[in-house]
Structure 1
């Protein structure tokens, strides 16, 4: 039972890594892959905390999801502003965001 659940978490993690590294042209897909990475890690923590009968993994999972939500909202706000200025959101033309 635990091996099948671990394979599900590992599959989600690998799909999100492939989406993050293989698609480097569309920033929205990169953000969704990053969110799926955080989600797979939090699922793994929740399942391990349930399996070990401990609440620490669930607390860490809530913290991870909170940080992921904040990061996603800030990233999407930056993308909306960038789209209003440049009218495209491809990564190749993101010289405007360099400091």
Structure 2
């Protein structure tokens, strides 16, 4: 069971990394980041169960990561929504916000 979880975590990490690197859409990039966070959470829980028996250290840390990821997703989507309203596009490569 442990090996299957590691394979699933590796797959989620690779898919999320590929999506984050190749994404040009401001909605797809946070979704890929969420996939990476889920892979990390899965590894936290797997290694917590393997190394510490039935203690809940990995599960508690995973809940904190989920809470931070939810806040990040809400902030990122609100920024994407405001940019969509102002610039009429959500493509990352079209924004030059530092220019006057």
How many residue pairs get aligned? The number is 97
Runs of 4+ aligned structure 1 residues displaced above 4 Å come to none
What is the Cα deviation at residue 54 of structure 1? 2.0
RMSD: 1.5
Q: Deviations over 1:11-67 (max 9, x none)?
A: 1111111111122x1121111000111111112212322333221111110110000
Query: Larger % of helix: which?
Result: 1
Which segments of 5 or more consecutive residues in structure 1 lack a partner in the other structure? none
Q: Does 1:43 align with 2:48?
A: no
Partner of 2:72 in structure 1?
71
The TM-score normalised by the length of structure 2 is 0.87
Q: Give the alignment of 1:13-92 within 5 angstroms.
A: 13-23=13-23, 25-51=24-50, 52-92=53-93
